[in-house]
């Protein structure tokens, strides 16, 4: 028997194939409704989608729909949502989300840029969801989008004509169950990380403002002085600007292209190589197209800030253990005067509410997010004058940071496992009984 071609690759000879449109029971666009009133319901929109196929409902919009319209647009378990319009230069449309039993316990509808499909009994909905997610991760939907007036639109007629693998319904269920187990493991670790981050945030609010001493006791009223901007400041602490503790005024990275990574040359660090926790990602390493890179070589404890885009303010404290590296043009490098600041202490500051408030203050109405080197230099924060106290405060976070890094590494391992399983199970390269 000959192998068969599908949109996500060649499948084994024992698999059938099917066209997505052949199994559709529902296939409808959402509705944005009107301004919310007392009967408003949650409406899932593009901002609730993630690239990994998971819906994030922590910031749900509430809108009012007529009873007839809500009856039409109510979401049920096993419905699949596809982002039909939206996207960006770096994020194609076509992200997917599955309505789980847990999500379906609450009444939700979906917005007008979203398409909902429900499927007949010839296929397992969760299996199809994983196929569509694999299609997105392979970049296939990028070739199915068109752009009008700045909005990217998915060619829906082309999308529902895609050919997908079709093992027996029992094997579909087994594959979906196995992938779900990995997703559950990832979610469990992520929940643990979130809980630890909440604890860390609480500690930061107390320790980085000086309300609490490193030994856990609270400062008394007579141990503070009053600053016009920051209010109560511990005696022995100062209000500093970033430029006050640095040896430079912020150096921009190389205006070069990323190329395949060569182990004999420096790694090229880009914004996308830094995760939301300020850790350097190991996957997707790239090299730099220009061999004249000496002025961009990073040294121990150099600090990088992202200067533009939705991730403006993302940061990385560079360590030599990360390997020889240079940095890209959308990053700005600062080098510390270590007689004034412990680099690890400033790394805490850069992840604190001080810095979040600074980012908000730097926003320009209607403009693309951007913070230049001069503006970064103006960032103000509280700093213990004694670096020993800085070290004691940082020490309170060291174990949390170590644990968080370990958990992030575990997630990376699980995500690699899931990627491998999706490539092999969905196409039948590896069979599940």
| Domain extent listing, the chain | 4-166, 237-385
Report the distance separating Cα 339 and Cα 280, nearest Å: 26
Q: With beta carbons less than 8 A apart as the criterion, state whether 55 and 49 touch.
A: yes
Reported confidence tier of residue 2, pLDDT bands at 50, 70, 90: low
Q: Do domains 4-166 and 237-385 have the same CATH topology?
A: yes
The tens digit of pLDDT for each residue in 348-400 reads 999 998 899 999 898 775 677 889 999 999 999 999 999 999 999 999 998 88
Reported confidence tier of residue 149, pLDDT bands at 50, 70, 90: low
Q: What is the mean pLDDT of residues 408-433?
A: 93
Tokens, residue 373? 């080197």
Out of 156-170, 272-286, 293-307, 356-370, least confident range:
356-370
Q: What is the mean pLDDT of residues 165-173?
A: 97
Q: With beta carbons less than 8 A apart as the criterion, state whether 334 and 370 touch.
A: no
Q: What is the mean pLDDT of residues 114-123?
A: 97
The tens digit of pLDDT for each residue in 255-269 reads 999 999 999 999 999
Tokens, residue 380? 């103000």
pLDDT value at residue 90: 72
Per-residue pLDDT at 401 exceeds 90: no
Q: What is the mean pLDDT of residues 167-184?
A: 97
Ramachandran sector of residue 324 (left: φ over 0; alpha: ψ -120 to 50; beta: rest)? beta
Nearest 10 degrees: CA dihedral of 406, 409, 410, 413? -160
pLDDT value at residue 368: 79
Q: What is the mean pLDDT of residues 319-339?
A: 96
Q: Which CATH class is domain 4-166?
A: alpha beta
Report the distance separating Cα 412 and Cα 281, nearest Å: 9
pLDDT value at residue 342: 98
From the list 418, 431, 423, the residue with the least C-alpha distance to 15 is 431
Ramachandran sector of residue 150 (left: φ over 0; alpha: ψ -120 to 50; beta: rest)? left
Q: With beta carbons less than 8 A apart as the criterion, state whether 78 and 126 touch.
A: yes
pLDDT value at residue 365: 58
Query: What is the tally of helices (H) and strands (E) in the chain?
Result: 9, 26
3-state secondary structure of 417: helix
Q: How many CA atoms does the CB half-sphere of 92 hold within 13 Å?
A: 17
Per CATH, the number for 237-385 is 3.90.220.20
From the list 343, 356, 358, the residue with the least C-alpha distance to 300 is 343
Reported confidence tier of residue 43, pLDDT bands at 50, 70, 90: very high
């Amino acid at each position: 028997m000959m192998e068969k071609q599908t949109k996500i690759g060649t499948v084994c000879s024992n698999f059938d194939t099917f066209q997505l449109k052949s199994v559709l029971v529902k296939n409808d666009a959402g509705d944005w409704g009107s301004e919310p009133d007392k009967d408003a319901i949650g409406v899932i929109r593009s901002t609730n989608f993630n690239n990994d196929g998971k819906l994030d409902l922590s910031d749900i919009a509430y809108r009012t729909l007529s009873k007839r319209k809500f009856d039409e647009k109510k979401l049920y378990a096993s419905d699949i949502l596809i982002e039909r319009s939206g996207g960006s230069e770096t994020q194609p449309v076509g992200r997917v989300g599955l309505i789980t039993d847990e999500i379906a316990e609450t009444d939700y509808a979906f917005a007008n840029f979203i398409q909902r499909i429900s499927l007949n009994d010839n296929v397992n909905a969760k299996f199809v969801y994983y196929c569509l997610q694999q299609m997105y991760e392979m970049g296939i939907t990028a070739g199915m989008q068109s752009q009008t007036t700045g909005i990217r639109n998915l060619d829906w007629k082309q999308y529902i004509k895609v050919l997908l693998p079709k093992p027996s319904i029992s094997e579909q269920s087994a594959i979906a169950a196995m992938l779900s187990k990995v997703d559950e493991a990832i979610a469990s670790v992520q929940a643990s990380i979130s809980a630890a981050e909440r604890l860390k945030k609480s500690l930061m609010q107390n320790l980085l403002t000086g309300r609490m001493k490193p030994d856990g006791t609270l400062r008394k009223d007579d141990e503070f002085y009053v600053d016009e901007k920051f209010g109560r400041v511990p005696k022995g602490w100062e209000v500093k600007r970033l430029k006050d503790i640095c040896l430079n005024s912020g150096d921009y990275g190389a205006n070069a292209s990323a190329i395949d990574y060569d182990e004999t040359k420096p790694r090229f660090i880009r914004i996308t190589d830094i995760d939301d926790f300020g850790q350097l990602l190991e996957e997707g390493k790239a090299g730099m197209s220009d061999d004249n890179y000496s002025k961009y070589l990073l040294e121990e404890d150099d600090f990088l800030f992202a200067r533009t885009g939705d991730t403006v303010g993302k940061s990385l404290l560079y360590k030599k253990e990360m390997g020889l590296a240079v940095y890209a043009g959308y990053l700005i490098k600062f080098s510390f005067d270590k007689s004034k600041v412990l680099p690890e202490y400033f790394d805490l500051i850069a992840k604190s509410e001080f810095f979040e408030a600074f980012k908000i203050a730097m926003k320009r109405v209607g403009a693309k997010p951007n913070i230049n080197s001069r503006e970064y230099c103006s960032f103000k924060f509280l700093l213990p004058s004694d670096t020993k106290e800085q070290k004691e405060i940082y020490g309170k976070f060291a174990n949390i940071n170590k644990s968080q890094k370990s958990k992030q590494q575990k997630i990376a391992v699980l995500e690699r496992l899931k990627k491998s399983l999706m490539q092999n199970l969905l196409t039948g390269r590896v069979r599940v009984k």
